[in-house]
Chain A
Amino acid sequence: MSTQTGIAIEEVTGLSERTLFQRTLANQAFWVTVAVGLICLATAYETPTFATLGNFFNITRNFAAIGIMAMGMTAVIITGGIDLSVGSVMALTAIGAARVLEAGYPWWAGCLTGLVLGLLAGGVSGALIAYVRLPPFVVTLGMLSIARSLAIVLSENRVIYQLGPGGETFKAIGGGQITLPWFGDATLALSNLFLTLLVLAMIVSFTLKWTAWGRYIFAIGGNENAARLTGIPVDRIKLQVYMFSGLTAAIAAVMLAGWQGSASNGMGKGYELYVIAATVIGGANLMGGQGSVYGAFIGAALIFLIRNSLIMFGVDANWYDLFVGLFIIFAVLLERIRARTSG
């Protein structure tokens, strides 16, 4: 066909494989990484306490919970869905775990209760979305309300901090850390929360790239009808994706409760905003079919760095959500511009 003029030139330029450099420039996660780097540099320049190993420990621990849930949210959003219930599911699972510990059961029973509750909450939402074909937005909005209410009832509206004989191990899991040798006498401490995020990120990343399940998630988000016609078990995979999201909320909640040494029914309020923001800022498309683990990870890092930097610059913390909101809108705007130019 290359001998034909006119059309051929357009075709060749339009379809030529893009170089690694061009793909990097078109990658939203790359630009978020640049933004993270710039914010770090600026803050480090302004405040000497920023670029310390201690602050690194704090920041990575603080964004880990959001990051863990962003892994589940990434899978959900790639299928073209959304899970608004993650914040409330955190409260439900943390309270559930704490009540079991309070009653004197061992640490693993508490953790298991939390994780099973997360799977259940996600399973209920997922079943309604996949099999009854209700819209994800409405179902998970309902679950947001239901899980929060259950958490309040289950907690008898008090903060649970007496965690019984299993409490010590429970707190050690969520609040623990691993210390690695660093340069000279310095040591680098990494929280269990952050390490959990790293392990989870690697698992999800591997699953998305190398398993049929991962590919089907992208296929469902790209063209659900096509996925169905090729025999992909679309409904079952959708159910699993919401269960996974519920599970990540439970992991984050159980570990946060351990770290804080208590569980309150207000845990995770508004966190759905941060989790969705992290995922979308990292390049996931709310229309489905697009998203990455690294994007969600760096997106979570960005929205927590903003908070950290605002505090270090002495800005009133109440401005924080305004910045998160601006970043979400900016991320979606970028996506729209890229879609138009690469159209």
Chain B
Amino acid sequence: MALLELRGIAKHFGAIEALKGVDLSLEPGEVLGLMGDNGAGKSTLVKIIAGNFPPSEGEIQLDGKACNFHKPVDARAEGIEVVYQDLALCDNLTAAANVFLGREAKKKVGPLKILDYQAMYARAAELFAELKSETRPRDLVKQMSGGQRQAVAIARTRLSDAKLVLMDEPTAAISVRQVAEVLDLIRRLRDQGIAIILISHRMPDVFAVCSHIAVLRRGRKVAEKPIAESSPEEVTGLITGAIQAA
């Protein structure tokens, strides 16, 4: 059974049709590269899955259950985590504080429930070790490299039992060496049976980590196939419209 099933998703913003009849399905452990030119509807689709806004038409099923998200927190409660393009990190807080933001570990001291710093540092250190990242839980995010910041944002998705992780351009603004780091992080998530949707403009990254690929053009899905049956040339053609569909 598919983990995530989208049927006939459409989204209108006034007269603008951002998405038209998009179907998509995703298995556990599958890494789907979602590609398309600027304005093709990738971000809109991800925002719908993440619960930022509801679709105008169509249905989202998670584990065969129809979902109706009103806020990102609703989607998170169902095991959908998002790594936003701007990472949504607080620079003035530590790595551990960012990982636990909004779901802090607490302990009871008398009548009070206070933050459990020890538990949060320890768990964050575990998560970074799991991701083989050198990020230290007590460091301020402000002082971190792009790759380490990605690790913090990704570690956050590992805090709960996420089934699906959406990543919006995780390799867009970082150095070559850090890109390799992030791609490794994605592989480790996949090895743990998590399904991933990776939005990217960077063809080599998509072909390096994805098992499947889907291409959007002007709000329509024009291809969805295993990556082994495609090629960068074909994908480029699909994105630009030189190839109509595949």
Contacts and interface: CB of A to CB of B under 8 A. Distances in A.
Given A7-B177, A17-B136, A219-B101, A289 B91 contact: yes
Nearest to B73: A231
Contacts of A232: 101-102
A301 to B, nearest CB: 25
Given A14-B143, A15-B143, A15-B144, A226 B101 contact: yes
Interface stretch (A95-103, A209-217, A248-256): A209-217
A290 B92 CA distance: 7
B112 to A, nearest CB: 8
A223 B138 contact: no
Nearest to A230: B102
Interface in A229-247: 229-232
* A-side interface mostly: helix
Contacts of B145: 11, 15
Contacts of B93: 215, 218-219, 222
Q: How large is the interface on B (under 10, 10 to 19, 20 to 34, 35 or more residues)?
A: 20 to 34
Contacts of B143: 14-15
Contacts of B86: 225
B115 interface: yes
B70 interface: no
Contacts of A210: 112, 114-115
Interface in B116-137: 134, 136
B115 A215 contact: yes
B177 A223 contact: no
Interface in B156-191: 177
A247 B31 CA distance: 53
A231 B93 CA distance: 17
Given A7-B177, A210-B115, A289-B91, A229 B134 contact: no
A231 B114 contact: no
B88 interface: yes
A152 interface: no
A227 interface: yes
A229 B88 contact: yes
Contact of A15 (B84, B87, B97, B139): B139
Given A1-B134, A212-B115, A226 B90 contact: yes
Contacts of A7: 177
A120 B134 CA distance: 49
A221 interface: yes
A17 to B, nearest CB: 7
B72 A229 contact: yes
A225 B91 CA distance: 12
Given A15-B144, A290-B92, A227 B134 contact: no
Contacts of A223: 88-91
Nearest to B135: A15
B92 A221 contact: yes
Contacts of B134: 1
Contacts of A225: 86, 88
Contact of B90 (A14, A209, A211, A218): A218
A231 B88 contact: no
Contacts of B136: 15, 17
A227 B92 contact: no
B139 A17 contact: yes
A209 B87 CA distance: 25
B76 interface: yes
A221 B89 CA distance: 12
A218 B89 contact: no
B187 to A, nearest CB: 18
A222 B90 contact: yes
Nearest to A232: B102
Nearest to A78: B92
Interface in B90-111: 90-93, 97, 101-104, 106
Interface in A7-46: 7, 11, 14-15, 17
Contacts of B106: 212
Nearest to A219: B90
B89 to A, nearest CB: 6
A289 B139 contact: no
B57 to A, nearest CB: 25
Residue of B86, B88, B101 most packed against chain A (CB within 10 A)? B101
A225 B85 CA distance: 12
B231 to A, nearest CB: 33
B72 A222 contact: no
Given A17-B139, A225-B86, A227-B90, 17 more contacts: A7-B177, A210-B112, A210-B114, A211-B113, A211-B114, A212-B106, A212-B115, A215-B93, A215-B97, A218-B92, A222-B93, A226-B87, A227-B102, A229-B82, A231-B71, A231-B72, A231-B76
16 contacts: A1-B134, A15-B143, A15-B144, A212-B106, A215-B93, A215-B115, A218-B92, A219-B97, A222-B91, A223-B88, A223-B89, A229-B88, A230-B88, A230-B101, A230-B102, A231-B72
- Top-4 shortest CB links A-B: A222-B90, A230-B102, A226-B88, A289-B92
